[in-house]
């Protein structure tokens, strides 16, 4: 049996899955002042009267880190930023104290200017003076050579905790994001640690021994222990939970559009050959861009409760929500009122919905039913247009080789999966607009919890072998070692897969679920003067994102 | 996050799977470290900077500019069409006002590609700026355009293409042709009969540094541009004037390139040469990106930058001052020079040998320009390569009068087939290109 739990802004949803069947569900309101309590209450309800001796795992998607960031309840962080030449680095100051230091490593990982220990001592003094305990250190090109970040941590580690190092969080190149991601990891460390401790205690008390995993924004999981070390991985996992859950009910090998239509917003995601499409670099939280891999998710201000008005003879829906639908006593007409009039939804006071539509109809010169139909069509049209423009953007993401430019895969959805309150009601109009089959999963109301339950550990590794310099780096596991000049692409591939297993085990993966794959590879001849001086081999490998297994089952198809 | 002052479009296409040959300077690795730097700086996250994929130039885009022997598709690879397509994309996003400026970091380069193309010269087969500009002129109407070429080599291809075109002012900064390939680009290469003075060469002595380049820009180039009043300024942004470049002898810097770009303020920049792929390109490209976006570039600096070592000598400074005066004087007197040169002449001929260093081909060529009082004048090219191919090309310029158009078609029709391997007609008024033989 597997427990899946997703904590949202308003509710905590949980489900218990046994051999592919949802055997139990639970839902409680989220108490923002006691997030752990909300989770524990839901778990308690879910497991009431169950024999949990054969629980295989408990997978949680939590908003503990996310809320701390959004509500500003984070720990003060002292930042050490080694920026080298390039952009004016002043915009990177994100900590309570920010120290810019003068060392510098170049794009090939060569040390151009060493770390000046006195600069670090001075930084420590400044942090001390402000009573700062948590630090983060990020250096430009540290993913090519982690030496400076490691050295600085050595100096700080006895006095400060935690000391997050940028290279350990992601192997991707993007210094500003590395700075912000490192900052966030240290900033949410204490709050997430407290959560982990409460959870462990509560589980021990109940004698539950199942391993606990935490959902990440990319729809994969990390073990609770790894999440405690890298709490930044747990931010904004909600959309991933819903998307993974929706995937569980749908064909696993096709391109598709995934919609989550709520009261206020519609979330749009995509899968390519059944695998979620990711943001190119990472997710943004508040005004900070990070290197935390996440599913691609665009939220538009359009939902069942969006305000409907008429401007210059045209229907306008959203982006604001003024309150409930008029059928529920709300102030303005909404798409839900329209769908109630059309008989597609059935809740609230139908006569209120009719008068809402009359109001719109008067401005358009039509009757209530025609107004409702027009709103319904318009809602489908807005979603279709937005999806089309997102697809155009996705299909024109930059590529760097002639082969990719000419023959790259273009995302071409074959069906639309819809979840959320108005999902079934919206399916017919979306089917018409998209000219694609629309699918509504049977248990979509717990799709988020199902997604959490069925998520697997994901991990990535970035490997760069520079045989001219004789070094190999794999930042995610802090590896920087000497290699032979005869190191080949084939050797690099094997090495990357081996290191990926290490990384994945570190994050909590178990052998059976690890399907490793190489996602990018290149090998450049390095020529200096007129001679080949070596090879620059670059590999990225990952544990294939996906589900433990699929559930299937849709009731609109 | 950072916000760019100018909305900037970047067409960054390193063509990581294309090379002239495995150890050639124009190889897969060329923009690898530039990409590392651009990615690591987080340029894609700067608000107002937008990345675009290149399109692909069409056969017709190339025919508008070149006479490829035997034809376009036998001469170019997909990479050449993409490189030119990248330049076109840059112009397109500027013309459509999607962005304020655009920079195409594409390869291979193009500024050595002349009107006739038998093969590859100076790593170029088609002239990507010219293909771009003529595409723009077809789609958005004729524009008065200035090209400022800051590559270290004389852009002899661009010079040849715009030799007789008054609507395109070509200004080239380069290392003196007596000391570097292609060995041209002197003061007396001044333009054809319809555009005399609108081809300006600035041959600089080896070891010219930041001071010299900026002096030329401030005291010669910018004053000329102010008089010419272009509607569009294009920077052929070759980066081989850099002090670390392996095949040239100049002392220019990344900061200098950024400063030059900032002061020149071009609408479009296109990468040309530059083969110091680690020591220069990552920093120069970054500097240009920041300058075009209106961001601070004062922190852009090479690892081994040493202003003392790179200081320009007094002798060079004095030489450059004299040179600028001479060139400006000729620019000022261009109409007089034109009148004196053309007095009583019906035709002007231009005979040259053109060497294709990359492919080892020698071409003998005579261009003949009609001196026409109504338009730029019909012109023809008679050319032969040492591989035994002889061609004849008729070119009707963009602004041709009816008489020149008619004469062009008449010549094309009356030339006996069999005499030449190939005969071409380029009718730029009607955007029609044909060939026979």
Complex ipTM, two decimals?
A: 0.95
Q: Which of 329-388 (B) contact A at CB < 8 A?
A: none
Give pLDDT, residue A556: 58
B73-110: per-residue pLDDT in tens? 999 999 999 999 999 999 999 999 999 999 999 999 99
Residue A304 belongs to some domain of the structure? no
Give CB contacts under 8 A, 24+ apart, made by A40-46: A40/A198, A40/A199, A40/A202, A41/A12, A42/A5, A42/A12, A42/A13, A42/A14, A43/A3, A43/A5, A43/A14, A45/A14, A46/A3, A46/A5, A46/A14, A46/A15, A46/A16
In a domain, A129, yes or no: yes
Pick from B20, B41, B90 the residue to mutate for testing the A interface (most A CBs within 10 Å): B41
Percent of chain B with pLDDT over 90: 97
Residue with tokens 């000329």: B224
Our CA-based measurement puts residue A411 at a distance from the nearest CA of chain B, in whole angstroms, of 16
Measured from the Cβ of residue B80, the count of other Cβ atoms closer than 10 Å reads 26
Does the beta carbon of A530 lie under 8 angstroms from any beta carbon of chain B? yes
B112, B153, B154, B255: the active-site residue = B112
Alpha-carbon distances, residue B209 vs B214, B249, B263, B302 (angstroms):
9, 10, 16, 15
Residue at a domain's end among A198, A222, A245: A245
State the Cα angle at B88 between B83 and B90, rounded to 5°. 95
CA distance B364 to chain A (A): 31
Please compute the mean of the pLDDT values over residues B259-263 and round it to a whole number.
Answer: 98
Query: Residue B216 has what pLDDT?
Result: 98
Average pLDDT of chain B is 97
Domain hosting A148: range is 77-190
Structure-token pair, residue A59:
């997978």
Chain B closest CA to A385's CA: distance in Å? 20
Is residue A168 domain-resident? yes
Q: What separation, in Å, do the N-terminal and C-terminal C-alpha atoms of chain B show?
A: 60
CA A11 – CA A42 distance, rounded (Å) = 10
pLDDT exceeds 80 at position B121: yes
Q: Pairing mode, if any, of strands B168-175 and B145-149? A: parallel
| Residue A76 pLDDT | 98
> Is residue A103 assigned to a domain?
yes
Domain membership flag for residue A538: yes
* Confidence (pLDDT) at A548: 84
Q: Tell me, what's the pLDDT at A32?
A: 85
| Token pair for B49 | 């900077």
The confidence score (pLDDT) of residue A400 equals 95
Of the candidates A85, A287, A397, the beta carbon closest to that of B300 is on A85
Residue A70 domain-assigned?
A: no
**CATH at residue A116:** 3.40.1360
Q: Which of A507, A515, A522, A518 is nearest to A540 (CA)?
A: A518
**CB within 8 A of B78, min separation 6: which ones?**
A402, A406, B56
**pLDDT for residue B417:** 78
Which of residues 81 through 100 in chain A touch B, CB cutoff 8 A? 83, 85-89, 91
Whether A80 contacts A120, CB under 8 Å = yes
- Taking the Cβ of residue A523 and every Cβ of chain B, the question of whether any pair is shorter than 8 Å is answered with no
B35 vs B282: CA distance, rounded Å: 7
Regarding pTM above 0.90, the answer is yes
Same domain, A83 and A58: no
Query: What is the distance, to the nearest Å, from the Cα of residue B220 to the centroid of all Cα atoms in its chain?
Result: 19
Looking up tokens 């272009």, which residue turns up? Answer: B230
B-chain CB neighbours of A289 within 8 Å are 1, 42, 45
Residue B369 confidence (pLDDT): 98
Least CB–CB distance from B301: residue in A85, A88, A401: A85
For the residues B189-197, what does the mean pLDDT come to?
97
Contacts A87 to B, Cβ<8 Å: 2, 41-42, 290, 295-296, 299
Q: If contacts are CB pairs under 8 Å, which of residues 229-288 in chain B contact chain A?
A: 246, 278, 282-283, 286
Interface of A with B in 257-286 (CB under 8 A): 280-281
- Residue B399: per-residue pLDDT: 96
Nearest to B15 among A104, A106, A401 (CB): A401
Number of domains within chain A: 3
Is position B24 annotated as part of the catalytic site?
no
Residues A105 and A154 in one domain: yes
Say what the pLDDT of residue A19 is.
Answer: 84
**Are residues A47 and A12 both part of a single domain?**
yes
Homologous superfamily (CATH) of B3-334 is: Histone deacetylase domain (3.40.800.20)
Q: Is 80 exceeded by the pLDDT of residue B390?
A: yes
- Does B54 lie at the interface with A, CB-CB under 8 angstroms? yes
By CB neighbour count within 10 A (0-12 exposed, 13-18 middle, 19+ buried), where does B178 fall? exposed
Alpha helices in A206-334 (DSSP H): 224-229, 238-248
Q: What are the extents of the domains in chain B?
A: 3-334, 344-436
Owner of token pair 């450059």: B320
CATH code of the domain covering residue A41: 3.30.420.40
Alpha-helical segments (H) within A206-237: 224-229
Classify residue A359: in a domain, yes or no.
Answer: no
Angle formed at CA A509 by CA A507 and CA A510, multiple of 5 degrees: 150
Give the closest residue to A61 by CA, choosing from A45, A44, A48, A42: A42
* pLDDT value of residue B339: 95
According to the model, what pLDDT value does residue A512 have?
A: 65
User: Whole-angstrom Cα distance, residue A96 to residue A123?
Assistant: 12
**What's residue A554's pLDDT?**
58
Burial of A385 (0-12, 13-18, 19+ CB in 10 A): exposed
Give pLDDT, residue B144.
Answer: 97
pLDDT at A549: 79
Instruction: Tell me, yes or no, if B23 comes closer than 8 A to chain A by beta carbon.
Output: yes
Query: Which of A411, A415, A413, A412 lies closest to A439, judged by CA?
Result: A415
Distance CA B149, CA B126 (A): 16
pLDDT in tens, chain A (557 residues): 999 999 988 889 999 998 888 999 999 998 888 989 999 999 999 999 888 888 999 999 999 999 999 999 999 999 999 999 999 999 999 999 999 999 999 999 999 999 999 999 999 999 999 999 999 999 999 999 999 999 999 999 999 999 999 999 999 999 999 999 999 999 999 999 999 999 999 999 989 999 999 999 999 999 999 999 999 999 999 999 999 999 999 888 899 999 999 999 999 999 999 999 999 999 999 899 999 999 999 999 999 999 999 999 999 999 999 999 999 999 999 999 999 999 999 999 999 999 999 999 999 999 999 999 999 999 999 999 999 999 999 999 999 999 999 999 999 999 999 999 999 999 999 999 999 999 999 888 889 999 999 999 999 999 999 999 999 999 999 999 999 999 999 999 999 999 999 999 999 887 766 789 999 999 999 998 878 899 999 999 999 888 887 776 655 55
pLDDT given for residue A555 in this prediction: 53
Residues near B387 by Cβ (< 8 Å), separated by ≥ 6?
Answer: B118, B361
pLDDT at B139 over 70: yes
Residue of A nearest to B2 (CA): A91
pLDDT at residue A514, rounded to an integer: 76
Query: Which of A272-281's residues contact partners 24+ apart within 8 Å by CB, and which partners?
Result: A272/A409, A272/A411, A274/A247, A274/A546, A275/A544, A275/A545, A275/A546, A276/A218, A276/A219, A276/A240, A276/A243, A276/A244, A276/A247, A276/A545, A277/A394, A277/A411, A278/A218, A280/A397, A280/B44, A281/A172, A281/A174, A281/A177, A281/B44, A281/B45
Which residues in B lie closer than 8 A to residue A88 (C-beta atoms)?
295-296, 298-299
* Cβ–Cβ gap B16/A401 under 8 Å: yes
- What's chain B look like in SS3? CCEEEEEEEEEEECCCCCCCCCCCCCCHHHHHHHHHHHHHCCHHHCEEEEECCCCCCCHHHHHCCCEECCCHHHHCCHHHHHHHHHHHHHHHHHHCCCCCEEEEEECCCCCCCCCEECCCECCECCCHHHHHHHHHHHHHCCCCEEEEECCCCCCHHHHHHCCCCCCEEEEEEEECCCCCCCCCCCCCCCCCCCCCCCEEEEEECCCCEHHHHHHHHHHHHHHHHHHHCCCEEEEEECCCCECCCCCCCCEECHHHHHHHHHHHCCCEEEECCCCCCCCCHHHHHHHHHHHHHCCCCCCCCCCCCCCCCCCCCHHHHHHHHHHHHHHHHHHHCHHHHHHHHHCCCCEEEEEEEEEECCCCEEEEEEEEEECCCCCCCCEEEEEEECCCCEEEEEEECCCCCHHHHHHHHHHHHHCCCCCCCEEEEEECCCCEEEEEC
Render pLDDT for B352-376 as a digit per residue (tens, 0 to 9).
999 999 999 999 999 999 999 999 9
Do A497 and A447 contact (CB within 8 A), yes or no?
A: no
Same domain for A86 and A163, yes or no, is yes
Tell me whether residues A289 and B22 touch, CB distance under 8 A: no
Name the residue in chain B with its Cα closest to that of A87. Answer: B299
Tell me, yes or no, whether A455 lies in a domain: no
**How far is Cα B190 from Cα B192, in angstroms, rounded to an integer?**
7
Task: Say how far apart CA A304 and CA A334 lie, in whole Å.
Answer: 7
């Amino acid at each position: 049996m597997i427990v899946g739990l997703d904590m949202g802004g308003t509710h905590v949803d949980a489900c218990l899955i046994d051999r592919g069947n949802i055997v139990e569900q639970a839902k409680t309101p989220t108490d923002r002042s006691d997030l752990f309590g909300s989770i524990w209450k839901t778990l308690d309800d879910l497991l009431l009267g169950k024999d949990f001796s054969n629980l295989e795992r408990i997978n949680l998607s939590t908003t503990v880190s996310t809320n701390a960031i959004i509500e500003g309840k984070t720990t003060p962080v002292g930042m050490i930023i080694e920026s080298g030449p390039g952009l004016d680095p002043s915009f990177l100051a994100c900590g309570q104290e920010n120290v810019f230091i003068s060392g510098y490593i170049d794009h090939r990982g060569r040390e151009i200017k060493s770390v000046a220990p006195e600069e670090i001592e001075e930084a420590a003094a400044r942090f001390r003076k402000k009573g700062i305990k948590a630090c983060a250190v990020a250096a430009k090109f540290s993913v090519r050579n982690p030496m400076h970040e490691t050295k600085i941590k050595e100096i700080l580690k006895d006095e400060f905790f935690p000391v997050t190092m940028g290279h350990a969080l992601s192997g991707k190149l993007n210094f500003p994001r590395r700075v912000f991601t490192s900052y966030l990891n240290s900033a949410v460390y204490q709050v997430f640690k407290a959560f982990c401790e409460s959870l462990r205690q509560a589980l021990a008390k109940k004698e539950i021994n199942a391993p606990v995993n935490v959902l990440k924004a990319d729809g994969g999981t990390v073990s609770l222990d790894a999440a405690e070390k890298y709490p930044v991985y747990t931010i904004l996992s909600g959309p991933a939970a819903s998307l993974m859950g929706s995937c569980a009910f749908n064909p696993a090998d096709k391109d598709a559009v995934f919609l989550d239509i709520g009261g206020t917003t519609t979330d749009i995601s995509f899968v390519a050959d059944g695998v979620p499409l990711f943001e190119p670099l990472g997710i943004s939280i508040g005004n900070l861009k990070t290197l935390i891999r996440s599913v691609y998710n665009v939220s538009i201000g359009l939902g069942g409760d969006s305000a409907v008005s008429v401007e210059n003879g045209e229907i306008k829906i959203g982006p604001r929500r003024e309150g409930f639908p008029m059928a529920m006593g709300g102030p303005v007409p909404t798409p839900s009122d329209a769908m109630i009039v059309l008989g597609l939804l059935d809740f609230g006071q139908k006569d209120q919905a009719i008068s809402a539509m009359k109001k719109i109809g008067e401005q358009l010169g039509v009757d209530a039913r025609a107004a409702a139909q027009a709103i319904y069509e318009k809602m489908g049209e807005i979603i279709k247009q937005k999806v089309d423009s997102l697809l155009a953007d996705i299909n024109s993401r930059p590529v760097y080789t002639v082969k990719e430019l000419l023959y790259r895969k273009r995302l071409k959805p074959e069906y639309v999966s819809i979840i959320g309150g108005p999902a079934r009601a919206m399916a017919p109009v979306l089917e018409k607009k998209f000219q694609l089959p629309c699918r509504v999963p049977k248990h979509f109301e717990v799709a988020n919890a199902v997604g959490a339950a069925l998520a697997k550990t994901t991990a990535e590794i970035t490997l760069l072998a520079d045989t001219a310099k004789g070094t190999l780096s794999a930042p995610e596991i802090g590896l920087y070692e000497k290699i032979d000049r005869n190191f080949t692409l084939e050797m690099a591939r094997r090495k990357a897969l081996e290191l990926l297993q290490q990384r994945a085990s570190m994050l909590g993966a178990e052998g059976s679920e690890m399907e490793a794959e190489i996602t990018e590879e290149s090998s450049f001849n390095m020529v200096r003067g007129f001679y080949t001086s070596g090879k620059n081999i670059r590999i990225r490998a990952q544990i294939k994102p996906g589900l433990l297994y699929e559930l299937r089952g849709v009731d609109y198809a | 996050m950072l916000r760019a002052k100018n909305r900037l479009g970047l067409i960054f296409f390193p063509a990581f799977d294309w090379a002239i040959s495995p150890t050639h300077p124009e190889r897969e690795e060329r923009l690898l470290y530039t990409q590392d730097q651009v990615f690591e700086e987080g340029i894609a996250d700067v608000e107002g900077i937008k990345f675009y994929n290149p399109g692909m130039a069409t056969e017709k885009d190339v025919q508008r500019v070149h006479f490829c022997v035997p034809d376009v598709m036998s001469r170019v690879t997909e990479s050449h069409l993409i490189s030119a397509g990248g330049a076109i994309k840059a112009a397109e996003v500027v013309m459509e006002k999607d962005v304020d400026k655009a920079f195409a970091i594409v390869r291979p380069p193009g500024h050595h590609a002349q009107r006739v193309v038998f093969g590859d010269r100076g790593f170029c087969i088609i002239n990507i700026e010219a293909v771009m500009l003529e595409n723009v002129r077809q789609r958005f109407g004729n524009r008065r355009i200035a090209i400022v070429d800051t590559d270290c080599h004389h852009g002899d291809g661009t010079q040849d293409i715009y030799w007789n075109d008054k609507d395109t002012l070509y200004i080239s900064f380069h290392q003196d042709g007596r000391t570097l390939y292609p060995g041209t680009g002197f003061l007396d290469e001044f333009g054809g009969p319809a555009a005399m003075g609108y081809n300006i060469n600035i041959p600089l002595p080896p070891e010219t540094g930041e001071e010299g380049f900026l002096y030329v820009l401030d005291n010669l180039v910018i004053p000329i541009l102010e008089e010419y009043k272009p509607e569009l300024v294009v920077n052929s942004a070759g980066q081989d004037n850099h002090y670390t470049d392996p095949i040239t002898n100049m002392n220019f810097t990344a900061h200098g390139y950024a400063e030059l770009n900032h002061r020149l303020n071009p609408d479009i920049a296109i990468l040309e040469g530059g083969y110091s792929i680690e020591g220069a390109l990552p920093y120069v490209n970054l500097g240009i990106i920041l300058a075009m976006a209106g961001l601070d570039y004062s922190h852009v600096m090479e690892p081994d930058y040493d202003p003392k070592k790179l200081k320009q000598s007094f002798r060079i400074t004095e030489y450059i001052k004299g040179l600028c005066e001479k060139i400006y004087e000729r620019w000022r007197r261009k109409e007089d020079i034109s009148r004196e040169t053309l007095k009583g002449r019906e035709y002007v001929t231009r005979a040259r040998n053109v060497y294709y260093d990359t492919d080892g081909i020698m071409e003998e060529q005579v261009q003949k320009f009609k001196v026409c009082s109504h338009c730029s004048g019909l012109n023809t090219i008679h050319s032969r390569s040492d591989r035994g191919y002889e061609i004849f090309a008729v070119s009707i310029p963009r602004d041709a009068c009816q008489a020149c158009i008619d004469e062009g078609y008449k010549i094309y029709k009356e030339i006996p087939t069999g005499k030449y391997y190939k005969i071409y007609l380029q009718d730029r008024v009607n955007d029609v290109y044909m060939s026979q033989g």
